[in-house]
Amino acid sequence: MLCLLLLASFSEFTVAREYVTKHQPVHHHVDKAAAAVAQHAHNAAVAGSGESHRLAQIAAAASAVLEVVECEYERAPAIDCALQHIDADKDGRICKEEIQQALDKVIYLWESLFTLYYSANYVLAHCDADQDGFISAEDFARSEAHCLHDCLPRRMFFEKVCNRLALLPQPLPPVTCVPPPPLPALTP
């Protein structure tokens, strides 16, 4: 079974690499090609295409292609930027409301597809390692495998959020963070 899974993954990776090579032969444009594959996958999913599952796999493989090419967007500066610009109340933790405020401030209307995928809920689900409703530096450290884990999410974060927040004339105002409801108690 593992052998079949590896072959399937290699097959998707090969398809993505061929796509990238065909559409963007210069290696420093690989991320644009991977983003194009991801966009095709999303368009197919929205249209209800039967190919959406395969295209999603190809998009994931194309994202893996980015890791073959050296990425100019490192994880540590992305985390520093998030804590510096999104943490509006400067308590060392980022809450859902702060993420939403940042996205609302810097994402243009025609880029709303970005916020559908990288929503505040998505960010919390992938970066809040202890699931307390807040993202701290410790959460970033423990969620390395899921949060800003490869080049494409880091690139999107820098270009769509971080760089734009840094250009704002004033920092984001503090917002009221609403703690998530407590988890229900387990009954024996």
What does the angle CA 27 – CA 64 – CA 50 come to, to the nearest 5 degrees? Answer: 110
pLDDT the model gives residue 172:
92
For 75-166, give the CATH class. Answer: mainly alpha
Q: What is the pLDDT of residue 4?
A: 30
Contacts of 142 (CB under 8 A, 6+ apart): 129, 130
Q: HSE (CB half, 13 Å, CA atoms) of 158?
A: 15
Q: Residue 64's pLDDT is what? A: 60
User: Domain ranges in the chain?
Assistant: 2-68, 75-166
Model-level pTM?
Answer: 0.61
Q: Which long-range contacts (CB under 8 A, 24 or more apart) does 83-92 make?
A: 83/137, 85/162, 85/165, 85/166, 85/171, 85/172, 86/161, 86/165, 86/172, 88/171, 88/172, 88/173, 88/174, 88/175, 89/174, 89/175, 89/177, 92/136, 92/137
Residue-by-residue pLDDT tens, the chain, 188 positions: 333 333 344 455 555 555 555 544 444 455 556 566 666 666 666 666 565 566 666 666 666 655 555 678 889 999 999 999 999 999 999 999 999 999 889 888 777 776 667 888 889 999 999 999 999 999 999 999 889 888 888 888 898 899 999 999 999 999 999 887 776 666 66
